[in-house]
């Protein structure tokens, strides 16, 4: 992983701001696909190989979890080979399963394969209540009995039968989890009001390559005809649209001429539109973007929405960019109202930002100053990296373990663009302060 085997909680990220970015950055495979595709391999009857794998800590954790339940796993920087033949429905109530939110995909995959599972309530980013009630609703509709016992979810079914399931809330996690459980159920499952994200299409593509019968992925109605067996396959993960968006924001903030390579431009159209509205020049090619940045930036209003709207995962770094735009900007997050924990850290660096309800109001442009700040979640970490590159002086970011969950080789990629960024070990006193 990008921590080179070290415990990231012992690290801090150091950034000396003010250096312009120029060059080409390669985008890794999609984190939000990888964390669903790896559990999906449980459903197979023979070896599954997944390549274009992002080298992030969440992937390492999932590989270890599959080994816990008897899988043979071979993990290299670019791909993972999973042999599921000896996997068993071993309970996973504690330990690694609690360290990442995406461990909930083990529920759907193990329920689909073994008709039972015990999974500890997942952890990951602390973004307030992100309930899994729609997941449970889907599992129950397919015939599972679901109970919460001592902080773990128990799923049991004599058999799974297809059903029509209407999601009360558009949920990527619930859509994928129900797909995983339904591909080996008897009969047809219809998911209505399904999420449309590219990562859902990616998971459906893997399952279809294994012999699943899925129609409508990427639309709001997905139809799945259950099958009895799923042979293994090889699959390549789509590029990470959130990593791509983060580097687009970094390039808009500090870039002179930056090429974002290995992307699907269609997946980031909402961000392209907002950056152009701010005055950022973007040239779009088949699988890359060129951002060249010479005009003053103008404030814009942004509202996060489900795909294909503006992604909530880019709201935090985009908020940092707006501190450099003239006038007043308003960012409203309709997805997670707790996703403003980065605002206090930005204010510590001199940003003129306040939170009112679900909105952040940004008055710019302001000069940011280097400071000691803490990443409280993955995308807040990205927001602080943007701030550190913009700021006068040195910015010191703790909470690096959050950043490592979603950004492969962050320092190497930024160094390649001309940034001044490095890691240092925290002192024992600093570690105690972080833990307290």
> What's the rounded Cα separation, in Å, for the pair 175 and 198?
12
Any bridge partners for residue 221, and if so which?
192
Q: What pLDDT is attached to residue 5?
A: 40
Any bridge partners for residue 161, and if so which?
186
pLDDT digits (tens, 9 = 90+) for 282-305: 999 999 999 997 789 999 999 999
Instruction: Write down the catalytic residue from 125, 127, 141, 371.
Output: 125
Q: Which residues have C-beta within 8 Å of that of residue 369, sequence separation ≥ 6?
A: 349, 350, 391, 392, 393
> What's the rounded Cα separation, in Å, for the pair 44 and 230?
5
For residue 4, pLDDT over 70 is answered with: no
**Cα torsion 207, 210, 215, 216: sign:** positive
Outline where DSSP puts E strands in 170-239.
Answer: 188-192, 213-215, 221-225, 234-236
pLDDT digits (tens, 9 = 90+) for 183-238: 999 999 999 999 999 999 999 999 999 999 999 999 999 999 999 999 999 999 99
> What's the rounded Cα separation, in Å, for the pair 263 and 238?
8
Q: What does residue 399 show for φ and ψ, rounded to 5 degrees?
A: 80, 30
Q: What pLDDT is attached to residue 115?
A: 98
Chain Cα centroid distance, residue 208: 23
DSSP state letter for 352: E
What average pLDDT does the chain have?
A: 93
233 is catalytic: no
For residue 308, pLDDT over 90 is answered with: yes
pLDDT digits (tens, 9 = 90+) for 343-397: 999 999 999 999 999 999 999 999 999 999 999 999 999 999 999 999 999 999 9
pLDDT digits (tens, 9 = 90+) for 28-86: 999 999 999 999 999 999 999 999 999 999 999 999 999 999 999 999 998 999 999 99
**Cα torsion 374, 331, 387, 101: sign:** positive
108 and 177 Cβ atoms separated by less than 8 Å: yes
């Amino acid at each position: 992983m990008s921590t080179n085997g070290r415990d990231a909680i012992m690290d801090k990220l150091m950034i000396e701001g003010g250096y312009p970015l120029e060059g080409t950055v390669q985008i890794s495979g999609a984190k939000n696909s990888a964390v669903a595709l790896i559990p999906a391999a449980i459903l197979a009857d023979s070896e599954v190989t997944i390549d274009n794998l992002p080298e992030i800590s969440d992937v390492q954790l999932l590989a270890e979890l599959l080994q816990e339940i008897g899988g043979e796993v071979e993990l290299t920087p670019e791909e993972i080979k999973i042999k599921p033949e000896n996997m068993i429905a071993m309970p996973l109530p504690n330990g690694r399963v609690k360290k990442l939110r995406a461990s909930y995909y083990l529920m759907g995959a193990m329920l689909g394969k073994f008709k039972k599972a015990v999974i500890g309530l997942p952890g990951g980013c602390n973004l307030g209540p992100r309930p899994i009630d729609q997941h449970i609703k889907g599992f129950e509709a397919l015939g599972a009995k679901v109970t919460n016992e001592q902080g773990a979810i128990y799923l049991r079914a004599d058999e799974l039968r297809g059903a029509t399931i209407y999601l009360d809330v558009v949920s990527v996690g619930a859509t994928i989890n129900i797909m995983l459980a339904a591909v080996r159920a008897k009969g047809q499952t219809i998911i209505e009001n399904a999420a449309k994200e590219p990562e859902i299409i990616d998971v459906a593509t893997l399952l279809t390559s294994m012999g699943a019968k899925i129609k409508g992925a990427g639309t709001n109605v997905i139809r799945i005809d259950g099958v009895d067996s799923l042979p293994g396959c090889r699959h390549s993960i789509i590029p990470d649209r959130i990593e791509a968006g983060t580097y687009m924001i970094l390039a808009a903030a500090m870039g002179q001429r930056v090429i974002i390579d290995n992307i699907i431009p269609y997946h980031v159209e909402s961000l392209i539109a907002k950056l152009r509205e701010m005055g950022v020049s973007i040239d779009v090619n088949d699988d890359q973007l060129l951002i060249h940045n010479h005009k003053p930036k103008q404030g814009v209003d942004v509202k996060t929405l489900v795909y294909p709207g503006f992604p909530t995962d880019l709201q935090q770094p985009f908020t940092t960019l707006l501190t450099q735009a003239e006038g007043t900007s308003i960012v409203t997050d309709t997805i997670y109202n707790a996703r403003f924990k980065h605002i206090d850290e930005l204010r510590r660096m001199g940003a003129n930002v306040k939170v009112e309800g679900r909105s952040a109001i940004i008055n710019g442009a302001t000069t940011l100053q280097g400071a000691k700040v803490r990443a409280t979640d993955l995308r807040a970490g990205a927001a602080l990296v943007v701030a550190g590159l913009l700021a006068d002086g040195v910015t010191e970011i703790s909470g690096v373990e959050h950043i490592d969950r979603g950004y492969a080789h962050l320092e190497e990629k930024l160094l390649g663009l001309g940034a001044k960024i490095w890691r240092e070990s925290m002192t024992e006193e600093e570690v105690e302060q972080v833990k307290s």
